[in-house]
Amino acid sequence: MSKPSVLFVCVHNAGRSQMAAGWLRHLAGDTVEVRSAGSAPAEAVNPAAVQAMAEVGIDITGQTPRKLAWETAESSDVIITMGCGDACPVFPGKRYEDWKLEDPAGRGVEAVRPIRDEIRTRVEHLLTELAPAT
């Protein structure tokens, strides 16, 4: 059985989705294929998100915001949206979750830490649901 794929999508693919992908890679290792994208990607990952993740030992400095591609969404098993609105494609038979999270854009690391921690909790929960498939 192939490993499940999870796609995290937010507007800029620079904060929430990058932190979620970082957490999932860290916690799941190679048991899950991790993807992230944005409907209107930024030039770079949010420095406050990078710093907040570094504080917990997760390096996301090598990540680059990517444009959401139809094919990526279509081939993902689980799609987690984080405020991308109508730009997120919908495919029948896919599992979707919409995580309501504060947007870290323009905020300092102090404001990003609680968002990071909430994302970790949600990723841990997601992993318990994916466990039978892994």
**Residues labelled catalytic:** 10, 84, 88
Whether 63 and 54 have beta carbons less than 8 Å apart is answered as no
The 3-state DSSP class for residue 98 equals strand
Retrieve residue 74's tokens: 């279509």
> Residue 94 contacts by C-beta under 8 Å, 6 or more apart in sequence?
73, 76, 77, 78, 79
Rounded to 5 degrees, what angle do the CA atoms 87, 72, 38 make?
A: 40
Beta strands (DSSP E) in the chain are 5-10, 33-38, 78-81, 95-98
Count the Cβ atoms, other than its own, within 10 Å of residue 97: 15
